[in-house]
Amino acid sequence: MQKTSFTSRAVQTISAGISILLLLTVILCFAIPYAKAVIPAFGSSHTTGYSAARIISIIWYTFKEAFISMLISVAIGVPAAYFVSQKKFSGREFLLSLGAIPLCIPPLIVALGYIATFGMNGIFNRFLMSTFKLENPPLQFLYSFWGIVITQGFYNFPLVMVTVSDRWETIDKRQSDAAKMLGASNFKIFSTITVHQISGAIISSCIPVFIFCFFSFMIVLLFGSIGGTTLEVAIYHAGRSDLDFHSVAVLSLIESLCALLVMEVYAVFEKKHEKENPISLKKNDTNSDFSPISAVLFLSIILLIAVFFLTPIISIFLSSISDKKGSLTLSVWKNVFSMKGFLPSLKNTITTACATASFCSIAGFCYAVFVRLSPLKKNTLIRTIPILPMAVSSVAMGIGMSMTVKQGNQLTLIAAQSALYWPFAYRQLQTHLSAIPQDVINGANLLSPNPLDKIFKIIIPYSWRGIISAFGFTFAMSCGDATLPLVLAIPRFDTLALFTYRLAGSYRFSQASASGFLLGIICAAVFLIANRIKSPHNSKRSPQ
């Protein structure tokens, strides 16, 4: 028994030591490359290749596309949230399930769907040209500013819908009921009471959408027009095309400072709103009554979602099983499977994602345990460390990693992804660890003076579902990442996302659709399985 106890204690100690070392390594893998990327900004002997006016123009364009994309998400997401939280209708659960798509389907796949639907040779243009005997495609908005914001806006609307509906179905209705008894109209009640009650949820959903669009790379790279570029794309061109690392440093610093400012505003607002608008634990009743106005709005929202969200996703699959004449065929899939680079890219994707997800989950768990148990949990530096990677773009990290490691390889990619993605794992695990009652922690302290017993016998059994969820989420992020593999430019190394991007870049959209569809299935399957394990009794709110 003593030997078994000693062996068990040794395994625990070694495991804890390796995990802590891994966490420190992941943090260093972020700090060193990012420092390499931004230090040239402070060199007095260099001048940036971008004038002040040009930088201001890029910043303005970036904020504009992110803000308008966010407004489109809100314009669709808030009405959709009203219907799924207040009304009963067929397809309600399906509409809620769309909340998982922005989290598990990479932007590259959505971009391919928009090309297959609204591109020059897309479904709608072919239909309109055939029906009205037109010589030129009538829909030409895709490769422009509006193509970018429409794609991003509809891609992210489910995040707004799910977040706002969660809040809307639990608001305290006593004020609304009192106003109705006093004769207030539904519009008056909504504009003076309900909007205030759900405003925090709207802001809470807007900021992540804004940040996602602010750091958008693939969609802007594919659809961006001449004369308009974002900070992310400008950093890529400065680092990879012009080798202007001083400009990379300046633009990266500006981008991170802007992102941190937005995150700080969000944190302050959210903390203030939580105090002013506590939620009710009781969910409000839903009904199936639609007024004429609400029926028209409902049908309009459903139509927009069908055209701009569902059709592009379906089009990816249809494009992968259709030839140029529109006939159904499996030749595209056979062609993709027979390509020399397909199987290696698939293998690279799975191995990279498994390694990245493992490192992120371990690092995130270690940091979550430290924050949960440490008296320094409220220290500003401790709270800032997991926020910093979320304010740094993949392009800046990739260029910094390339400056740090002269010859990139698969391990370089894993290190870069882990450095950027571990905070997402940490945030998921923090929720689970925060739910452990303090009485349980105190009891463990009394029963065993060894902190490892508390971790291995209490915390891990309590949070194993969160660990699996964090693994699935970061696995999907790694699989769908085409940016870091593109920026790192690892010789003779492709992931499935980069393989798909290269096919799209060579105008082989049918093959790109097949490859992208397979990539989307892998990402979605792992994410949804992990999320189901995380919340086995609550499929409705799994995206959260």
Buried b (16+ CB within 10 A) or exposed e, 70-89: bebbbebbbbbbbbbbbeee
469 and 542 in a single domain? The answer is yes
How far is the C-alpha of 120 from the C-alpha of 331, rounded, in Å? 23
| Domain membership flag for residue 42 | no
391 and 435 in a single domain? The answer is yes
Which tokens hold the place of 13? 């100690």
Q: Structure pTM?
A: 0.87
157 and 269 in a single domain? The answer is yes
How far is the C-alpha of 397 from the C-alpha of 71, rounded, in Å? 28
Tokens 């659809």 belong to which residue?
Answer: 223
Phi and psi torsions of 493, nearest 5° = -145, 120
| Domain membership flag for residue 44 | no
Distances (CA, A) of 279 to 167, 176, 197, 265, 266: 7, 15, 9, 22, 19
| Domain membership flag for residue 323 | no
pLDDT attached to residue 538: 47
| Cβ 368 vs Cβ 20: under 8 Å | no
Considering Cα of 73, then 74, then 77, then 80, what sign does the dihedral take?
negative
How far is the C-alpha of 102 from the C-alpha of 203, rounded, in Å? 18
pLDDT attached to residue 540: 41
Write the pLDDT tens digit of every residue in 143-153.
999 999 999 99
pLDDT attached to residue 539: 40
pLDDT attached to residue 542: 38
| Domain membership flag for residue 247 | no
Secondary structure class of 60 (helix, strand, coil): helix
pLDDT attached to residue 1: 45
Which tokens hold the place of 212? 């996602």
pLDDT attached to residue 275: 56
Write the pLDDT tens digit of every residue in 277-327.
555 545 555 667 788 888 999 999 999 999 999 999 999 999 999 877 667
| Domain membership flag for residue 218 | yes
- CATH number, domain with residue 268: 1.10.3720.10
How far is the C-alpha of 159 from the C-alpha of 543, rounded, in Å? 9
Listing DSSP states for 264-307 in one string gives HHHHHHHHHHHHHSPPPSSPPP-B----HHHHHHHHHHHHHHII
pLDDT attached to residue 282: 54
Query: Which parts of the chain register pLDDT below 50?
Result: 1-2, 281, 537-544
Structural domain range at position 201: 66-228+263-318
What total number of domains does the chain contain? 2
| Domain membership flag for residue 140 | yes
pLDDT attached to residue 366: 93
